[in-house]
Structure 1
């Protein structure tokens, strides 16, 4: 079944989409955790209440020391206590405000991080036009929390070219720059805007340029012009057409067959296509030999994210090639058989639909061509003898089938 992306409700702001901002300041680690957890849960946001991710894989995706679990726990606590707000502009100019904690639950047990979203937030996050899911490979490049926040909030405007004019106070909330020192714009500009713009342009797949609108000599609104960064296209998440091509690929088919979610499989193939395919082949071989104790999907994630060696022995590679050839031959056989069955059904239907006059004409032609017909009954155009009837039926099917092909 093809993957169908949910579309934003028509009542929401259509030009700038819904503004999503975090009330309170999140650190760089906390922002990265929010994105990794969402990426892991994305495909099951509307079907599963609880999500889980091995701590080792979580830390690898974060580029974080997995032994520092205290820092990880503190970051999860901060995320749980931080609300996310949605300011929606409805038709007619009426505004609506709603908020929810980023996580309603988080826990670590036996090396696995489990977490939950509220039902309300899960429905919101399932809409990618409301929350921009960034490429984890891009995220790893950032060293500043303000820069990552700016990137998240500008990325969705790459196609339109501009964020549009947004009040300074809203930008402060969007970037998490709530400290009192930023009440004075020159500090907000020098310590947050300029540094964040420099880092986004240096490490990400977009280029941002701030523009300022003044009222009574003070900067009241900021907009960012957003363009693709050609030097960093390797990190680009790609558009819908690119993702459709990925979904049609052998790598995607094999990864999802192992239990890897749609969004995670796309991310792997975008970031490291060769490794994604190697992972699928490697795990398929291990599963065939019953050498995986847990789920193939979980094993594949640990293999891909932990950088394990995926070298396959010559014997294993030969076996994989044999299996691939066998699969291909079996698929071709099924295709041929299906086509033959379809032709047979079509031929049978055509014979049943023959009028009696046509049946008699065909029988006469069969006899004229040398067919045996001692038991032929001209009034019905049939043969009473079983052997003669069988021979005629074979001739008749071949004749009608040839007509259909022609």
Structure 2
């Protein structure tokens, strides 16, 4: 809380809450009477994983009992002192936390010399209240390169140890408070700090901190708030005038497809002149109340239908190709088998050939098959299975379709047939 002196001791969780609540409200700090944030998002912002809302309520109550003081040197040279409650009102209902600030405090908090938004990644990582206080009060001076000089008593009050006699000696304060806090800030945050002291004789009377960017943390992305701000949905929401905090809440709670569907709905309704309130307000209701996007539903149905049509056409083309391959394979196999049969037939005497032919024709029975055989002989397609069976019964060795396919490096007829049947089932 930068230049604010907090008169009551706050836990680490409460200090994180102070920053998270202010971060959430900052954009509407001077215009909004009340501020709202999802309790789950609030917990995510401060790295509080517990689902114990009672603990969160207790932390909020602690903020409502905390007094903040301002001791400022005015332009006329006189000092002015003000004190006020940090959080006058808080409410949790339906998973939403509602809270507000006094107007005088809101005006001070909005001033960049008093408060600067801290990095949310750092806020979640901090493990001690002293380190978080030190980070808060040093971070806003990064651009200057050093903090202001703090009187040692003011600094003790800033770190909320002014009522603890054991930290009265600077040696104890430095060993147990300042050095551990500096070590944590330098390790976990996006700044590096180094302490300078001001002496009066052998006594430390004041101190300040040199503040530099932490290059190592910058390399791992600490300069950006966190991964949420890199998402397309988050950026699209900001482009529509949605606050950073609300955009963050939605990106955490809803998937990107859902958010973009509502953005599309808001855009269509705005183009048709159907939004009577603000577009941002309509978008808020659309997302939180799940307005249905009829245009998107229609487009999706059309897309599904088009996809189904394309899939069917692709299957039909594949089926035709397989049928063609099947016909070609059957024809080639039939001709190859007929050549073997014809060769064996020609080795017979003329009388034997006439007797074999007559015997085969009698086995066919129907005149249709007999006439077909008379026309095409042993290569006849209509009576091929009967021809093959007849000659195998006479002891002639003929290759199976599978053996012939393997020998010729082609696909086996049974495999082609199975593929054809599978596609027919899919087309049903």
Contact preservation (8 Å) 1:283, 1:296: no
> What is aligned with 1:184?
169
Find the counterpart in structure 2 of residue 88 from structure 1. 72
* 1:224 matched residue in structure 2: 209
Cα 1:296–1:133 shift into 2, 3 Å: same
Q: Distance in 2 between matches of 1:127 and 1:299?
A: 34
- Say whether the 8 Å CA contact 1:39–1:264 is kept in structure 2: no
Asked if structure 2 preserves the Cα contact closer than 8 Å seen for 1:21 and 1:174, the reply is: yes
Partner Cα distance (1:52, 1:128) in 2: 22
Given that 1:205 and 1:229 are in contact with CA atoms closer than 8 Å, whether structure 2 keeps it comes out as yes
1:272-291 correspondence to structure 2 within 5 Å: 282-286=258-262, 288=264
TM-score normalised per structure 2 = 0.56
Partner SS, residue 235 of structure 1: coil
1:146 and 1:298, CA in 2 relative to 1: closer, same or farther beyond 3 A?
A: farther
1:261 pairs with one of 219, 225, 243: 243
Q: Report the CA distance shift for 1:107/1:202 in structure 2 as closer, same or farther (over 3 A).
A: same
Asked whether the 8 Å contact 1:42–1:263 carries over to 2, the reply is no
Match of 1:210 in 2: 195
Pairing 1:37–2:24 present:
no
Are 1:168 and 1:220, in contact at CA under 8 Å, matched by a contact in 2?
yes
Distance 1:49 1:153, change over 3 A: same
What's the secondary structure of 2:62's corresponding residue? helix
Q: Deviations over 1:9-48 (max 9, x none)?
A: xxxxxxxx98322112111100111111111111111121
Alignment partners' CA distance in 2, 1:136 and 1:222: 27
Shift of 1:228: 0.7
Secondary structure at 1:161 match in 2:
coil
> Given the alignment of the two structures, is residue 147 of structure 1 paired with residue 131 of structure 2, yes or no?
yes
Quote how far apart the aligned CAs of 1:115 are: 0.8
| More displaced stretch, 131-140 vs 171-180 | 171-180
Paired residues of 2:2 and 2:116 also in contact (CA < 8 A): no
Task: Work out the CA distance in 2 between the residues paired with 1:257 and 1:143.
Answer: 35
Higher helix share: 2
Please report how far the alpha carbon of residue 143 of structure 1 lies from its aligned counterpart in structure 2 after TM superposition: 0.5
1:184 deviates by: 2.3
Q: Per the alignment, do residues 118 and 86 of structure 1 end up closer, same or farther by CA in structure 2, a change over 3 Å counting?
A: same
User: Of the two, which has the highest radius of gyration?
Assistant: 2
Q: Can you list the C-alpha shifts for 1:118-145, whole angstroms capped at 9, x where unaligned?
A: 0111111222331121121111111111
How far has the Cα of 1:254 moved from its partner? 2.0
Contact 1:182 1:188 in 2 (8 A): yes
Distance (Å, rounded) in 2 between the aligned partners of 1:41 and 1:156 = 19
Deviation at 1:99, TM superposition (A): 1.8
Contact 1:255 1:280 in 2 (8 A): no
